[in-house]
Chains A and B, each alone.
Chain A
Amino acid sequence: MQRRTSISAKISLATLFIVALLALLGPYLPIQDPAAFHPEQSLQAPAWLQQPVLGTDAYGRDLLARTIWGARVSLLVGLLGTLVALLVGVPYGAISGFLGGRTDRIMMRLADTMESVPMVAFVLFLLSILQEYRSEMAALGIGRLHLLFFAVGLLFWLPTARVARSEALRLRDTAFSQAATAVGSSPIRTLKKHILPHLAAPVIVMLGLTLPRVILMEAFLSFLGLGVEAPNVSWGSLASEGLASMNPLIAGHWLFLVPAAALATTLLALHTLGDHLRDRFEKSRRL
């Protein structure tokens, strides 16, 4: 079979590579402190080739630095949130599908019920209530950022669980897993040695599809003010600040456009790559 990687997937991969590299190298790049106030140079328009490259905000903070530091938070929450979703969803789905019968019915009924609740509203509610416990959580070393991982993980584990379940259901009836059971392998051992490794491919596809949604959700929560807190920044909170300062009197459109463009480009690249991954997986499955 001839395998061709489409040109759009290549461009997406290159874009993501650059974004990830900038985010990783953030602290070592020759950029200004993203939180430093410079009142004397507030609201400067982007100068492109000179300082400030992407302009400054109302407090004189360098937007390039803030966008790069925002990338760190957005990508980190995206990756760890996706990880949480997978760590919850895959075992849940795999156990449900592998055991089958009544356990499967109950576990899936539970999942259906959770799907019919507007989880976003519930998570917002939860986040606001957890605010009351800030000092206790701070003592345990749990910050707002850690809460975000779990909040977005909570939102996105269901689709992963469904995919894992349908795969486990299929794998349960294969000859190799029945053979393992026949020679006396315990259900846990079969699940671990024979089912879970086969879930890798669909799970990677799910990862590709979930990652952009998690990043979007983080941006969404931060945009509403329930995500990251100052001095941390993320693309969502930057876009929110930018949108607030976008009016004909201030004319600071770059404050919105720069983080919005960073977010949109990254999401577009991730979506393209995720779709590509899925198509390829489905094609290889059919053959």
Chain B
Amino acid sequence: MTRPKSSPFLRRLGAFLLTLLVVHAASFFLLHAARGGPFDAERQLSPEVEQALLAQYHLDEPVHQQYLRALQDLVFHFDLGPSLRYRGTDVSTLLAQSAPVSLALGASALVIALVFGIPLGLWAALRRNQWPDRGLGILTSIFLALPNFVLAGLAISLFSFSLGLLPPAGASSALHYILPAFCLGLPCAAQLARLTRTTTLETLHCPAVQAARARGVHGLPLLSRHVLQRALIPVLAFLGPAAAGILTGSLVLEQVFALPGMGAHFVQAALNRDYTLALGATLLYTAVLGLTTLLADWGISRFDPRAEALS
């Protein structure tokens, strides 16, 4: 009798949840190893007051009890405890306020990356070694090499200060998102364009496409029916790393453009030693990245029959 095989998707979901748990535990114990309580910077406190403060935040219990309490709060109430800097505000509230800003920025950057990256990569592959390919090669190298804060600085000085077209900072209207979204999305688009170019070139020489060509399929039908569905599978797999890149980039760009998103909060928390907020943000980032990877895996298993055979 053979054991029923667990579905690969469920296994991945399990691994994802386990990762979240491990990240939470690791951050939690790291945080506790950090000696020097959150109230050290305050005025000298009398022992009674300090004791009361510690008791209020349950900091006087043994570490394992604190950990279990934190885990319980997180799992059942999505409660990550109070922020150590913003008194009277919960970490979950702060994250819930800032996540939409980051999500809007990240999603628009991803859309920009897809809209520019894939068609340009295709174009370069179809015009191999002609001017579109050469030009795009140079352009992608430049965008890959430029750090995004350099790109942001150049964009601000050009579009905000010299031309006065777009606002340099803030988040009060959709206009404010244009510059950061492009600064975040274009390097990713460059990566996507390179990847699409490589996979398309490979696909154009694969037997199935050559056979289709031999049957007389040309132009757009060849591209849409035979090339794209094969060439885009590695691009789909790139979605996970792309999300990671956008996430990293947003840490800097939210600072530069003064967007009140999660990245800005996270960096401020790391600088201000607001550890509970930093822990919450790290956890949320892990969740977002894990979900994107899961989504990409699901997409691959949907569109690539080979993935089924492999797993």
> What is the interface of chain A, defined by CB distance below 8 A to chain B?
113, 116-118, 120-122, 124-129, 131-133, 212, 216, 219-220, 223-226, 239-240, 242-243, 246-248, 253, 256-257, 260, 263-264, 267-268, 270-272, 275
Whose C-beta in chain B lies nearest to the C-beta of A240? B149
Q: Are A116 and B144 in contact (CB under 8 A)?
A: no
**B window 264-311: CB within 8 A of A:** 266-267, 269-271, 273, 275, 278-279, 281-282, 285-286, 289-290, 293
Q: From B23, B153, B244, give the contact of A260 (CB < 8 A).
A: B153
Q: Are A226 and B147 in contact (CB under 8 A)?
A: no
Q: Are B145 and A212 in contact (CB under 8 A)?
A: yes
> What is the interface of chain B, defined by CB distance below 8 A to chain A?
15-16, 18-19, 22-23, 27, 30-31, 33-36, 141-142, 144-147, 149-150, 152-154, 156-157, 161, 168, 244, 247-248, 251-252, 255-256, 266-267, 269-271, 273, 275, 278-279, 281-282, 285-286, 289-290, 293
Q: A220-B252, A271-B141, A271-B144 given as contacts; is B157 within 8 A of A118 (CB)?
A: no
Bound form: Cα–Cα A103–B220 in Å: 48
Contacts of B281 in A (CB 8 A): 121
Which among A121, A128, A220, A253 has the highest number of chain B CB atoms within 10 Å? Answer: A121
Bound form: Cα–Cα A117–B15 in Å: 12
Q: Are B293 and A248 in contact (CB under 8 A)?
A: no
Q: Are B244 and A118 in contact (CB under 8 A)?
A: yes
Contacts of A240 in B (CB 8 A): 149
Bound form: Cα–Cα A271–B285 in Å: 28
Bound form: Cα–Cα A224–B265 in Å: 12
Q: A113-B19, A225-B271 given as contacts; is B30 within 8 A of A129 (CB)?
A: yes
Contacts of B256 in A (CB 8 A): 243
9 tightest A-B CB contacts, nearest first: A128-B270, A268-B145, A260-B150, A118-B285, A267-B145, A129-B34, A132-B34, A121-B285, A121-B282
Which among A128, A240, A247, A271 has the highest number of chain B CB atoms within 10 Å? Answer: A128
Q: From A116, A128, A263, A275, give the contact of B147 (CB < 8 A).
A: A263
Contacts of B149 in A (CB 8 A): 219-220, 223, 239-240, 243
Q: Are A264 and B146 in contact (CB under 8 A)?
A: yes
Bound form: Cα–Cα A117–B26 in Å: 12
Whose C-beta in chain B lies nearest to the C-beta of A114? B19
Bound form: Cα–Cα A272–B141 in Å: 8
Q: A243-B256, A271-B141 given as contacts; is B270 within 8 A of A125 (CB)?
A: yes
Contacts of A117 in B (CB 8 A): 19, 23, 286, 289
Bound form: Cα–Cα A264–B141 in Å: 11
Q: Are A219 and B282 in contact (CB under 8 A)?
A: no
